[in-house]
Structure 1
Amino acid sequence: MSSSALPWYVKLVLRVAVPAACLAALYLSIPGEIAMARTAGWSEHYAPAMPICVSVYALAAAAIAAYRRKASLPGQVTALIGAVVALALAICAQSISHLIQQNYMGSSAALVVAVSSVPPLVIAHMMHMAETPSQVKTADEEKSELRGMIDYLSEELTLSLGSQSLTLVSRAAGIVREIENLSQTTEGLAEEAEKVSQDVEESLKTPKPKALAARIAKTREALAAKGGKVTVDAICKALDISQATYYRYKDSEQSTEGLLPLSI
């Protein structure tokens, strides 16, 4: 559930109440931790640093542990153990200091040694957790390499698409030229077909002399084969031509045709 979907009073608690409670807890832990530092032998000048060493250290270890867990970084377990130990140390410091102040227990060598070892242990663990930037640097390097790979692939894809586009454009231009050539060829063929059609029509309308002479000869032979009387009028009717056309295109070698009667 996202924070934007939370009620206003829950948001108010997260933004105001939680920090206020942490500050109040740190403030309340100050006297006990200072008293324990004094019991361990620190002077009035150095004892006030114990709350920062214990309580702030516990807060810092908890925050680092949460961050490492959220960022999936190594060292989550050690940071969590440090936060738990720091919290236990802060609780023990409060309890022991109050027990000493209320005369329920007194100072001892073991207590002095334990309290005196707190600062170096805190420093050691904080230095250990400070190694997080190196891990983050490694993660940043991986992100940088990933970005470089993405940029390289994007550039290669752009170049590939550009070359493919040029190839497609050139091919399209070639296809357009071929279509134009085919269109011109088609127009030429259409013109030639039209000329041939016109020639055929003209040849049908106006027979050439040799063709008409051959037809006249064949028609005369056909009429003679039937046993009928071959006349100019019969040949003209069979060919649907006039007698003038007959005499114009008849075979001049057939001199006997001029003796054919015009009609029966």
Structure 2
Amino acid sequence: MPWYIKAVLCVAIPAACLAALYLSIPGEIALARSAGWSEKYALAMPVCISVYALGAGAISGYRRSMKLPGERTALIGGAMALLLAMGAQAISHLIELGYMETSALLVVAVSFMPPLVIAHLIHMAETPSQAKSADEEKEDLRAVLYAFTAETAASLVDRSRTLVKQSDTLTTVAVELVNAAELENGRWDEVLHEVERDPRPASLGERIEQARKALAAKGSKVTVDAVCKTLGISAATYYRHKPAEQSAGMLPLTV
């Protein structure tokens, strides 16, 4: 709940109630005076009407939330008290401003207020708490257990669905990893087969030596130019990679 809502519930509402009670005081005192009460006793009229209306409304709300008997009578009493307070304010202001005068009926009605308030307060105070039989308690317990079981089952079902989804995800990932491993293994197999089919070529020095032997076997003159033409290399490359010269000496550059 936002802080400003809490502030309204904790501060604004009580402040408004106190302000309303405070504003009701003059009119209710004036009404009590017009009904014949002296200054000393007229001061109790605001408590008799406004505070009673506030208390009856609070009791009604409490009994409604706790499912206790007497809710309707408390609500009716609160509504009647509110109507009395509103009527008292209106009548007292009308009398004070000269729009109407007091009468015997008004005096009787105002005089009835304190006894009616006392009677209703006693009725609300004497209303017994709601007593439950053993069967009703069993039904309540059964309802609580049923609700708990249903909530637990729903939670387990949701958790099971989540676990199944996670398991499916892990299975999919595992299959992808296996496929990737098989593909990689196949690639290495291809590489090995290629190596087996095509052995590593000999070094350039070995190829030079083989070219020499091939030229000698053909009876051709073994020279540097002949070896370079056979291998397709330059003379500089030849001298960088040539094998060790035999005791016969270095090859001639040309014929």
In structure 1, what is the equivalent of residue 54 of structure 2?
59
In structure 2, what is the equivalent of residue 42 of structure 1?
37
Q: Distance in 2 between matches of 1:30 and 1:84?
A: 19
Note the 1:126-145 alignment, pairs <5 A.
126-132=121-127, 134-135=128-129, 138=131
Confirm or deny that 1:122 pairs with 2:117: yes
Q: Distance in 2 between matches of 1:34 and 1:56?
A: 14
In structure 1, what is the equivalent of residue 9 of structure 2?
14
Shift of 1:131: 1.6
Q: Distance in 1 between matches of 2:107 and 2:33?
A: 10
In structure 2, what is the equivalent of residue 110 of structure 1?
105
Matched pairs, number: 138
Shift of 1:135: 1.4
Which letter does structure 1 place at the counterpart of 2:36? G
Q: Distance in 2 between matches of 1:7 and 1:135?
A: 36
In structure 2, what is the equivalent of residue 101 of structure 1?
96
Which secondary structure does the structure 1 equivalent of 2:43 belong to? helix
Q: Distance in 1 between matches of 2:31 and 2:20?
A: 17
Note the 1:71-86 alignment, pairs <5 A.
71-86=66-81
Shift of 1:75: 1.2
Q: Distance in 2 between matches of 1:118 and 1:68?
A: 24
Q: Distance in 2 between matches of 1:9 and 1:70?
A: 25
Shift of 1:110: 0.3
Note the 1:89-238 alignment, pairs <5 A.
89-132=84-127, 134-135=128-129, 138=131
Q: Distance in 1 between matches of 2:80 and 2:97?
A: 25
Q: Distance in 1 between matches of 2:91 and 2:74?
A: 25
Q: Distance in 2 between matches of 1:99 and 1:110?
A: 16
Q: Please report the TM-score for the alignment, with normalisation by the length of structure 2.
A: 0.51
Q: Distance in 1 between matches of 2:82 and 2:55?
A: 11
Which letter does structure 1 place at the counterpart of 2:47? I
Q: Distance in 2 between matches of 1:60 and 1:131?
A: 15
Which letter does structure 2 place at the counterpart of 1:16? V
* CA deviation map 1:73-119 (0-9, x unaligned): 11111110100000010000000000000000000000000000000
Structure 1 residue ranges (4+ consecutive) displaced by more than 6 angstroms after TM superposition: none
Q: Distance in 2 between matches of 1:69 and 1:58?
A: 17
Q: Please report the TM-score for the alignment, with normalisation by the length of structure 1.
A: 0.50
Larger Rg: 1
In structure 1, what is the equivalent of residue 227 of structure 2?
none
Q: Distance in 2 between matches of 1:43 and 1:26?
A: 21
In structure 2, what is the equivalent of residue 31 of structure 1?
26
Q: Which runs of 5+ in 2 are unaligned?
A: 142-255
Which letter does structure 2 place at the counterpart of 1:135? S
Q: Distance in 2 between matches of 1:67 and 1:106?
A: 40
Q: Distance in 1 between matches of 2:9 and 2:74?
A: 23
